[in-house]
Chain A
């Protein structure tokens, strides 16, 4: 009865439209990257050219290094902090969490120029470190916020009984809390990784050569899409999208849960 009540006419059609709208661009990009404008046949030459391109390989490894290192650093620091905030009996824990959340909402442009001036002063401009530092720090607040949520779901009794058995703080964390936290850590790591992989404004301001450029910047530097660079531009985009598509295919449930938990729970 209920399903009838909420039934919307022509739903399959709308859902088809939605899927086409979301996936269509990706397929068009793939089509452009594989099609040879002159002959009209499928051709992998754009991809082969990319793999032989020294610049592209540097940029791709830059993106991987920067995103992975900053995600790892951020997650490690955030886990310790979230543990302290939620598992120790402290006052102002909730206030601290809200302060962290507020900091995560700073617009990047507001911290861009002071950081640029500092990095310029100490000679870090155009290095991967100049990206790893802001990426790590600006993903900290949201990581702490999310991980605190996951910590709170673990009953405190578990820890207490372990303490009575004479386990040390570190053992309790490593042997009892960490296994239960794994899935929450994975969700947080995915969201942080994706944010850092896609980050644009710091990367465009702090990097000047392919020595330290990340993939989004490299793609943005392609000349306007008019001439014969379309093939290379789209092939680069597709390769840049592959890690992200893999993440969706393997972790979609986690991503949806992670994205919605913050907004819906309050």
Chain B
């Protein structure tokens, strides 16, 4: 009886359920069902052009384990995520510290900072495509004139440079966004703490280490969570900039999955790769949420 009372809805809850229903139903059919469906799909050999649909159990995953191209895209992704997020964090924090003081032209700087965030990734990638063009690009022209290089570099056609260029585009686009988040966190730190630190005779570095970093930690973790998850399913930067080339050196997991799905039309195998991406993102969020709760407990 007691149990029944617990699950039966109060009148207020009934009204609330009715109001939430449209959103929940839509989310259920367009987000939840497809997620379940993709796990199911990954157990099939499904080739659209030949109209083949055959249950094969975990064969797709077994094939993934020995698929060189998959592992290549996985490690490319780790590389891409690690370096872009690390550079963005360091640069973003530096910018936030510089901006965290009263200064003029706040309006101008805020406008400027929002531009990379708001521009579509496609436009950013196409822009760098133009600049990095081996023959006509501005990058080579400037570097040649400054005598930093002595012949044109094929930035996006050379496996050594292509990934670095992709990371650069990511850094260009997301560093300002990260610095905004961190600036928001910095402004929450009470100024009295720094004043007390000066009275105690601590230097800049010490107060940064003992006041700024620990108090900024929660904001930093949230920012890192968003950026790491995003970069693990990054798609449009490499799709537009290099389409994965040269020689698959910039092929990230999402791009490999996309090509398998929509170019070779192997929906079962493409789904299996998508599942791996989903699981990676899930693991990352669990990891961050864990360290987040751990860290906040620490501070209390």
Contact = CB atoms under 8 A, between A and B. Distances in A.
A176 interface: no
B218 A105 contact: no
Interface size class of B (residues with CB under 8 A): 35 or more
Contacts of A144: 23
A183 B110 CA distance: 19
B70 interface: no
A222 B105 CA distance: 37
Contacts of B56: none
Contact of B176 (A22, A112, A201, A215): A22
A109 B181 contact: no
Contact of A114 (B15, B38, B108, B188): B38
A32 interface: yes
Contacts of B35: 106, 110-111, 114
Interface in A209-264: 215-217, 219-220, 222, 224-226, 230, 233-234, 237, 240-241, 244-245, 247-249, 252-253, 255-256, 259-260, 262-264
Interface SS majority for chain A: helix
Given A194-B118, A197-B120, A263 B38 contact: no
B23 A32 contact: no
Contacts of A179: none
In this complex, which of A19, A103, A113, A260 has the most chain B Cβ atoms within 10 angstroms of its Cβ? Answer: A113
A3 B35 CA distance: 52
Contacts of A259: 177, 180-181
B103 A11 contact: yes
A172 interface: no
Interface of B: 10, 12-13, 15-20, 22-24, 26-27, 30-35, 37-38, 41, 95, 97-103, 105, 107-116, 118-124, 126-127, 129-131, 133, 135-136, 138, 172, 176-177, 180-181, 183-185, 188, 191, 194-195, 198, 204, 218-219, 222-223, 226, 229, 232-233, 235-236, 239-240, 254, 257-258, 261-262, 267, 270-271, 274-275, 277-278, 281, 285
Given A90-B16, A266-B222, 14 more contacts: A3-B102, A6-B204, A18-B112, A89-B10, A109-B235, A110-B278, A113-B274, A114-B34, A116-B261, A200-B121, A205-B261, A230-B136, A237-B123, A263-B184
Interface of A: 1-3, 5-8, 11, 14-15, 18-19, 21-23, 25-26, 28-29, 32, 77-78, 80-81, 83-85, 88-91, 96, 100, 102-103, 105-118, 133-134, 136-138, 140-141, 144, 194, 197-198, 200-201, 204-205, 215-217, 219-220, 222, 224-226, 230, 233-234, 237, 240-241, 244-245, 247-249, 252-253, 255-256, 259-260, 262-264, 266
